[in-house]
Amino acid sequence: MAIDINKLSSGTAGLQPARRAVTQQSKPEGSSAQAAAKGDEVKLTQEAQQLQRAEKVMQETPEVNSSKVEALKQAISEGRYHVDPDKLAANLSRFESELTGE
């Protein structure tokens, strides 16, 4: 919904009645508000659950092996490192399965 700011009066005077209406509607009314508070629940979206799983996997992953990284860098710079496309595809597929929990 678009708001035409050119028709608003100066200041926030035009917003005051709306604030009062919201305030009056949001006031708790005795025990019914307490009963509603006890029934509150939170549901995470599928994306949030996926992010939680990814975070858990990352926390369980060991620290970086600096000597292995240096050896790989050296092999790449010397042209001795070759990528196996089948192995790479399998690893990517496994990684994605772990993220989605499938």
Q: How confident is the model over 87-92, as a mean pLDDT?
A: 96
Residue 97 belongs to some domain of the structure: yes
Based on the structure, what is the number of domains in the chain?
Answer: 1
| pLDDT digit string, tens, across residues 60-87 | 888 888 899 999 999 999 999 999 999 9
Structure-model confidence comparison of residues 96 and 34, the more confident one? 96
Residue 20 belongs to some domain of the structure: no
**Residue 42 pLDDT more than 60?**
yes
Residue 83 belongs to some domain of the structure: yes
What was the pLDDT predicted at 76? 94
53 CB-near residues (< 8 Å, 6+ apart)? 98, 99, 101
**Residue 93 pLDDT more than 90?**
yes
Residue 49 belongs to some domain of the structure: no
28 CB-near residues (< 8 Å, 6+ apart)? 34
CA distance 96 to 75: 27
Picking from 59, 61, 70, 57, the residue whose alpha carbon sits closest to that of residue 101 is 57
Enclosing domain of residue 84: 64-102
Residue 38 belongs to some domain of the structure: no
Residue 39 belongs to some domain of the structure: no
Residue 98 belongs to some domain of the structure: yes
Q: What does the mean pLDDT of the chain come to?
A: 77
Global pTM reads 0.31
Specify which of 26-30, 84-88, 95-99 reaches the highest per-range mean pLDDT: 84-88
Which tokens go with 68?
Answer: 């292995």
Residue 50 belongs to some domain of the structure: no
